[in-house]
Amino acid sequence: MLLKNIRIFCLLPALILFFKAEAQNNTLIAPDILTYKWKAEWIAPPGVSLKDFGVFHFRKTFELSQKPKSFVVHVSGDNRYRLFVNGHYALAGPARGDLMHWNFETIDIAPFLHAGTNVIASVVWNFGEDKPWAQISNKTAFILQGNSENEAILNTNKSWKVTENKAYKSIPIDGAKMQAFMVTGCGEDVSASAYIFGWEKPEFSDISWQNAKGLEPGFPYGAGTGAGWYLVPRQIPQMEEKEQEIQEIRRVSGLTSPIHTDWLKGKGILTIPAKSKVTILLDQSFETTAYPELSVSGGKNASVKLTYAEALIDAKRQKGNRNVIEGKEISGNYDIFRPDGTALRTFRPLWFRTYRYIELNIETQNDPLIINSFKGIFTAYPFEEKASFSSNDQNLKNIWNVGWRTARLCGGETYFDCPYYEQLQYTGDTRIQSLISLYVSGDDRLMRKALTDFDNSMLSEGLTQSRYPSNIVQVIPPFSLFWVSMNYDYWMHRKDDAFLKHFLPNIEKVLAWYEQRIDPHKNMLGPMRWWNFADWNTTWPWDSKKDNGGVPEGASDGNSSILTFQFAYTLKQASALFEYFGNKERAIYYRTLADVLAKSTYELCLDENRKVVANTPEKKTFSQHASIFAVLSGAVPRTEERALMEKVLNDQSLSQATFYFRFYLTQALKKANMSDKYYESLTPWREMLKLGLSTFAENPEPVRSDCHAWSSSPNYDFLATICGIMPEQPGFEEVRIQPAFGELDKIEGKMPHPNGQISVKLSRKGNGVNGEIILPDNVSGKFVWKGKIQPLKAGFQTISIE
């Protein structure tokens, strides 16, 4: 009976908390929508600044003579929106892009409609100056366009009603106080007494609302004479949203009686007495990305501060073991909710939060506050775990599970470097994340969006931006090369020529930018501008004068072996792409240039005494990175690769690769036919598990981010290196399986393939191997073991090599 009177203070009604993400159905889009000026206008609230922080509600009431079989509309907003039809949540967006490529969502709302009076409503918000760096914006606006004349009644214009929700105030992130770079957007201070309850429901009266003002028509990309937003169809599905219980109460102060977790499980309530100050530390037990939902009753004039953190910190701001709370406190971004004394008010922020720990700081006045429930609504890109891996080392399963959680939390409407601090899509991270997506889920749509996003970021001088979308321009030239490598990766794993061919012109621009900076006297790259980041290792510290770090010797003043080898490595990948697409002359040129650069750099930078590659021809500093890219570029003679990589693994005087660059360390080991060394290289991941991390961190301790996708590379390498499953031909049309057991005796893995599933189950006995392999239909390949090759065919087959 109580549920009948519930008053929801959130943007997503409780009855649809288990929303199942569906793919954007672009087959519903009428051709005119992508070709001509829309009949709908971008609309906005009158009389307010459209650049500042604000939360607004738009509504349209309309009549239908009968329930339609289909009613397709196209929707977008700036910064963000959520759409409701007759009180039912329909979808959210727009998927992040830029003003030249502003996404719109398409949906058939017929299931929500009925004969008679209907209401469509949307909340639109603009975080103004406090918006995330990943959010590009023109100004506050909303647009909805019917797919045909049948839906034209809903085209946005001045007949729509709008009002501002003045319950919201922004809480800017204080990066200085947190002593960390954090750009994910503001917290929210929300007062229930000013909130407009029921704004999305048909029975709500909007008679006091204003008519919206028109701004400009909607224009699809490539149309018109000028527009504030050029609209393109969304290419990814809606984000997953599902209920997630908070697990534990770890610490309480300000209450005389002990409290239990019933109220966290929806089985009871928690009462905070009047005139109290109470602190409750909650532990999700693992890191998550979620919309926290706090439902309360009473507590007029009370305040609830919700602080979110990946980990607690001690007096020296160190995290230590993430499971230990003694002697530690919370520091993080936060929201504030101010109840109005009414029963069952529910707070939910407009944007998701990242947390393992949440601290509630509650202060009541004359009325007690009842907490009816508190939970999270998990959200992320709807990747499905279709791959699996197991072995006789059970600890690897823990690494797999934590790695996949890391990858999931770093995937939203774009890939994220980290969900807590930045939520920005960087090419260096994204290349690794994309491969994990392909191998574990088989879903390539977010990778396709990332490739397109970086292509859209191209600067006039010939480099992509290093992170995109972003309202702050940043340029890391090596990341432009990794974008080229991403194109190569996609080509090897997917048959999609028309999509890839679109990127070839900008690939040429990136490589031309580098070519212009070759030192002709040494056949190495000369001085490089912008931020030439390579890795966060300790020997390349932050330079406050240059305002950057992670930059190897020779990058700025010329003749960096690392950057030159990476350029040569990328040229060879580009050569393969251009040859495939019929430009043999360009392919030969890139391959020849790569060979010249690699050979010269190796000759100038190889230290004959130390038998490793130096960072510059002066041979004063040395790193694992230089020798790694020397091998990957093909500079090192095949007969000498193993000896060099042994030095890389064992010479501790070399500056060391961090978690990020260990991905390339593994690739070099594979090229040197040393894949069996991979298993023993997993010590850093084992150490993170011992520290209680539930996701993998950005760097070795002490570390800022506890969840960084580039550190989940084992989820790729368990399949691509230990199981040895790799594409042998472009489009994954042929498979190469070359397992690397290391110290393992048994391995078993399966992964999605465009044609079905690849399955590997193998045992090692002495120097031999036996087992079973299943390939999808129309896929062949070869099995490689210690120089012996066994052909593979589609379907089931046994392996037995002595």
DSSP conformation class of 720? I
**Lowest-confidence range among 165-179, 207-221, 446-460?**
165-179
Please tell me whether residue 670 adopts helix, strand or coil conformation.
helix
pLDDT in tens, 104-141: 999 999 999 999 999 999 999 999 999 999 999 999 99
Q: What is the CATH number of the domain that holds 483?
A: 1.50.10.10
Establish if 784 belongs to a structural domain. Answer: yes
Distances (CA, A) of 326 to 152, 248, 277, 491: 61, 15, 21, 51
pLDDT band with cut points at 50, 70 and 90 for residue 2? very low
β partners of residue 57? 123, 163
Which are the contacts of 103, defined by CB distance < 8 A and separation ≥ 6?
A: 76, 93, 94, 95, 96, 97, 231, 232, 233, 234, 235
Same domain for 131 and 52:
yes
Residue 383 contacts residue 88 (beta carbons within 8 Å): no
- Per-residue pLDDT at 5: 32
In whole angstroms, give the CA distance from residue 415 to residue 95: 12
β partners of residue 162? 58, 210
pLDDT at 4 over 80: no
Same domain for 191 and 127:
yes
Please tell me whether residue 267 adopts helix, strand or coil conformation.
coil
Distances (CA, A) of 293 to 244, 288, 347, 653: 10, 14, 6, 51
The tokens for 463 are 């480099």
Number of structural domains the chain divides into: 5
DSSP assignment string, 591-620? HHHHHHHHHHHHHHHEETTTTEEBSSTT--
Better-scored residue on pLDDT, 561 or 23: 561
Question: Among the three residues 188, 204, 238, which one is the final residue of a domain in this structure?
Answer: 238
pLDDT at 487 over 90: yes
Instruction: For residue 784, give its domain range.
Output: 728-802
> CB atoms < 10 A from the CB of 319, how many?
22
In whole angstroms, give the CA distance from residue 191 to residue 339: 7
Distances (CA, A) of 270 to 273, 340, 361, 490: 10, 18, 14, 52
Distances (CA, A) of 787 to 210, 679, 767, 769: 76, 20, 12, 13
pLDDT band with cut points at 50, 70 and 90 for residue 23? low
Which are the contacts of 795, defined by CB distance < 8 A and separation ≥ 6?
A: 774, 775, 777
pLDDT in tens, 318-349: 999 999 999 999 999 999 999 999 999 999 99
**E strand segments, 80-237:** 80-85, 88-93, 102-108, 116-126, 141-146, 161-164, 168-171, 187-191, 210-211, 213-217, 219-220, 230-233
Average pLDDT score over residue span 66-95:
98
Establish if 137 belongs to a structural domain. Answer: yes
> CB atoms < 10 A from the CB of 171, how many?
15
Distances (CA, A) of 271 to 258, 292, 416: 12, 19, 39
Which are the contacts of 516, defined by CB distance < 8 A and separation ≥ 6?
A: none
Same domain for 641 and 620:
yes
Same domain for 671 and 556:
yes
pLDDT band with cut points at 50, 70 and 90 for residue 628? very high
Establish if 385 belongs to a structural domain. Answer: no
Torsion of Cα atoms, 115 then 214 then 12 then 5, to 10°: -60
- Per-residue pLDDT at 76: 98
In whole angstroms, give the CA distance from residue 175 to residue 333: 9
Environment class of 478 (CB within 10 Å of its CB; exposed 0-12, middle 13-18, buried 19+): buried
Average pLDDT score over residue span 191-199:
97
Same domain for 435 and 325:
no
Establish if 33 belongs to a structural domain. Answer: yes
The angle subtended at Cα 12 by Cα 411 and Cα 345, nearest 5°, is: 125
In whole angstroms, give the CA distance from residue 510 to residue 171: 40
**Lowest-confidence range among 40-54, 252-266, 332-346, 628-642?**
252-266
Establish if 31 belongs to a structural domain. Answer: yes
Same domain for 169 and 223:
yes
Question: Among the three residues 329, 360, 380, which one is the final residue of a domain in this structure?
Answer: 380
pLDDT band with cut points at 50, 70 and 90 for residue 469? very high
**Matching residue, tokens 């971008």:** 42
Please tell me whether residue 731 adopts helix, strand or coil conformation.
helix
Average pLDDT score over residue span 172-180:
88
- Describe the strand order of the beta sheet including 72-78 as a list of residue ranges: 213-217, 41-44, 141-146, 72-78, 102-108, 230-233, 219-220
pLDDT at 14 over 70: no
Pairing of strands 248-253, 746-753: unpaired
pLDDT in tens, 302-317: 999 999 999 999 999 9
The tokens for 544 are 């406050």
CA atoms within 13 A on the CB side of 259: 25
Residue 422 contacts residue 175 (beta carbons within 8 Å): no
Q: What is the CATH number of the domain that holds 781?
A: 2.60.420.10
DSSP conformation class of 115? S
What proportion of the chain, given as a percentage, has pLDDT over 70? 97
Establish if 286 belongs to a structural domain. Answer: yes
pLDDT in tens, 694-719: 999 999 999 999 999 999 999 999 99
Same domain for 662 and 748:
no
Environment class of 589 (CB within 10 Å of its CB; exposed 0-12, middle 13-18, buried 19+): middle
Establish if 16 belongs to a structural domain. Answer: no
**E strand segments, 654-755:** 725-727, 734-737, 746-753
For residue 533, is it left (φ>0), alpha (ψ between -120 and 50) or beta?
A: beta
β partners of residue 214? 43
3-state SS string for 736-761: EECCCCCCCCEEEEEEEECCEEEEEE
Torsion of Cα atoms, 457 then 481 then 619 then 663, to 10°: 110
In whole angstroms, give the CA distance from residue 563 to residue 555: 7
pTM as predicted: 0.96
DSSP assignment string, 57-98? EEEEEEEESS--S--EEEEEEESEEEEEETTEEEEEEPPS-B
Mean pLDDT of the chain: 95
Which are the contacts of 724, defined by CB distance < 8 A and separation ≥ 6?
A: 675, 736, 737, 738, 739, 740, 760, 784
Q: What is the CATH number of the domain that holds 198?
A: 2.60.120.260
Amino acid at 604: L
pLDDT at 16 over 60: no
Average pLDDT score over residue span 411-427:
98
Average pLDDT score over residue span 425-440:
98
Same domain for 94 and 81:
yes
Element counts in the chain: helices (H) and strands (E): 14, 37
In whole angstroms, give the CA distance from residue 794 to residue 274: 71
Average pLDDT score over residue span 634-641:
98
Distances (CA, A) of 203 to 14, 113, 120: 18, 15, 12
Same domain for 185 and 50:
yes
Same domain for 247 and 197:
no
Same domain for 443 and 317:
no
Pairing of strands 270-272, 248-253: unpaired
In whole angstroms, give the CA distance from residue 534 to residue 613: 16
The tokens for 209 are 């609302």
pLDDT at 15 over 60: no
Establish if 11 belongs to a structural domain. Answer: no
Amino acid at 166: K
- Describe the strand order of the beta sheet including 725-727 as a list of residue ranges: 725-727, 734-737, 780-785, 788-792
**Matching residue, tokens 């103004």:** 128
pLDDT band with cut points at 50, 70 and 90 for residue 22? low
Same domain for 191 and 54:
yes
Question: Among the three residues 357, 380, 403, which one is the final residue of a domain in this structure?
Answer: 380
